[in-house]
Amino acid sequence: MIQVTEHAAERAVPAWTARIRADEKLLEVRGLTKRYGPGCSSCHQPETGEWHSSRCPRCGTIWACRSLDFHLYPGEILGVVGESGSGKSTMVKCLYFDEEATSGEMTLSVCPGDGNLLQASSQRKRYVRNHLMGMVYQNPYLGLRMNFSSSGNVAEKLFAASQFHVGRVRRRAAELLERVEIPLARMDEPPARFSGGMQQRVQISRALANDPPILLLDEVTTGLDLSVQARVLDLIRSIRRELGVAMIVVSHDLGVIRMLADRTMVMRHGAIVEHGLTDQILEDPQHPYTQLLVHSLL
């Protein structure tokens, strides 16, 4: 079993920390739109601002995300809540370039001068994915190679960022897996042998491999037992506290959002219907749909 001698506190400070102030927006998104279909005059310019479905009844186009505007500060957790089909997962997939946005703008303050990253080259998008963002999927099979070792999954992310020294890569993988409470005796086992909660924790260790300033977490506790959920949520809070990583947490569970998020966006039919401080959203919801969600939690 490998011995871990390099601790998180001894690691070099990530380069991005020198390029951002605490009061400066780390991520800014304007007009993010993702549609499946050409659209028509009826759905491009609806008569009312309130959408009753994400699917246009005239042409059948699905508007998964429609003109989303939001931002994220360093070290902040932004919660995104809504029912299934509201566009939450599509939004984070567009941010991580798993899906190509139809239109909109995304800027990162740690990428000065790059302009709209949604229109950047494939090479630049790969850089953002490999160095500046980490993604944890609801389904671990989307985020892990199940037949690779757990350490190999972390190493793959490091290799993508041009870190090829085998000894350092292996030490870093061991450090990260130990942080998420994966026994080092099992670091060379494939995630296919692990429980759902352990698979999610391997995903988190992989996402943290290159010290990104932003983590995207998509329904990471869905389908887990309550005790396992609690351990994963505690891990997420400790990562924010110790590493200062900003996060976008997507969930349909308001209990998860209450526990984690500083601010919350409520989505319905691909649009943001309410946005504010989490305590404010949960204690005094203004939109009828948010009121319905909050009352269903009580």
Q: Closest Cα partner for 84 from 217, 253, 247?
A: 253
**pLDDT tens, position by position, 4-38:** 333 433 455 566 665 666 678 999 999 999 999 99
Is the pLDDT higher at 85 or at 105? 105
Contact 214, 245 (CB under 8 A): yes
Bridge-based pairing state of the strands 246-251 and 62-72: unpaired
If you count them, how many residues does the chain have?
A: 298
User: What pTM does this model have?
Assistant: 0.90
Q: Residue written as tokens 């204690």?
A: 283
Domain boundaries of the chain, sorted by first residue: 25-297
| Distance of alpha carbon 249 from alpha carbon 72, whole angstroms | 12
Contact 176, 170 (CB under 8 A): no
Choose the CATH number for 25-297 among 3.30.43.10, 3.50.50.60, 3.40.50.300, 3.30.450.40: 3.40.50.300
| Distance of alpha carbon 145 from alpha carbon 202, whole angstroms | 11
* pLDDT value at 164 more than 70: yes
* pLDDT value at 115 more than 90: no
Q: Kindly report the average pLDDT of the chain as a whole number.
A: 89
**Which of 49-53, 176-180, 191-195, 253-257 has the weakest average pLDDT?**
49-53
**pLDDT tens, position by position, 228-286:** 899 999 999 999 999 999 999 999 889 999 999 999 999 999 999 999 999 999 999 99
Bridge-based pairing state of the strands 133-136 and 246-251: unpaired
